Amino acid sequence: MTKMMLFVCLLIAGTILVLSACTRESENISPEPNTGTEYIAVDADFQNFRNWTVVTQLSQALSADGRAHTDAARTIWIKQADAKRGPNGQYPNGTILVKEVQGGYGIVAMVKRGGDYNSAHNGWEWFRLDSAGKITTRNSASICNNCHAQVKNLDYAFTKN
Ligand code: HEC
């Protein structure tokens, strides 16, 4: 191989490297749903949720516009104390938040399931739990999606920042 040919080969290889690095970078910042393993929660995932990290305790509606429609006392916990939104603005798959409301409304939870699940709403799965923390219902209910979409920029979590 002549020196000239070697030089041309190196130039082509270098260009490919630079281009692929650029592609990787733009992938990181695009608001894609979380890929990777879908996280499908089971009863055991909610065990002892009252011992998790408290995100906040409230006794008034969250804002003057009456978001959440309740002044009942309520507590919100997160399972992963150090959970942070990633470059796509979303919490990692497997992130779990639980809210317990006093006075009959009961216990609700949201789990970042990811994969293709509820991808129009950042892959969250919505739950109701009984007082022992066992799953009673699970779905991608539009009622939960739509109200929580008010804080889409916070990945649907009102109180966790
Ligand atoms: C009318 C609006 C509204 C609807 C409908 C709603 N939520 Fe919420 N949710 C809120 C608000 C506001 C908060 C913030 C805490 C508070 O004020 O109680 C919240 C908090 C939560 C939290 C704690 C994490 C966070 O976002 O701060 C969970 C878990 C939760 N909701 C689950 C559900 C589930 C499951 C459903 C559907 C069955 C649902 N929510 C329906 C408004 C709503």
Q: Give the closest residue to 152 by CA, choosing from 46, 33, 38, 6.
A: 33
* Percent helix, percent strand, percent coil in the chain, to nearest 5: 30, 20, 45
* pLDDT, tens digit (0-9, with 9 covering 90-100), for 43-96: 999 999 999 999 999 999 888 777 877 889 999 999 999 999 999 999 999 999
What's the gap in Å between 139 CA and the centre of ligand 1? 14
Atom of ligand 1 nearest to the CA of 97: 29
What length is written for the chain?
Answer: 161
According to CATH, what is the number of the domain 43-154?
A: 3.50.70.20
Quote the CA–CA distance of 54 and 56 in Å, as a whole number. 6
Nearest CA to ligand 1 atom 26: 157
Give 103's contacts (C-beta < 8 A, 6+ positions apart). Answer: 72, 73
Q: Say if CB 121 and CB 145 are below 8 A apart.
A: yes
Count the neighbouring beta carbons within 10 Å of the beta carbon of residue 127. Answer: 22
What's the gap in Å between 116 CA and the centre of ligand 1? 22
The residue with greater pLDDT, 132 or 8, is: 132
Predicted confidence at residue 33, as pLDDT, reads 66
Q: Is 79 in the pocket of ligand 1 (CB under 6 A)?
A: no
Domain-wise residue ranges, the chain = 1-30, 43-154
pTM of the model: 0.83
Q: Give the closest residue to 89 by CA, choosing from 42, 40, 139, 156.
A: 156
CA 47 to chain centre: 20
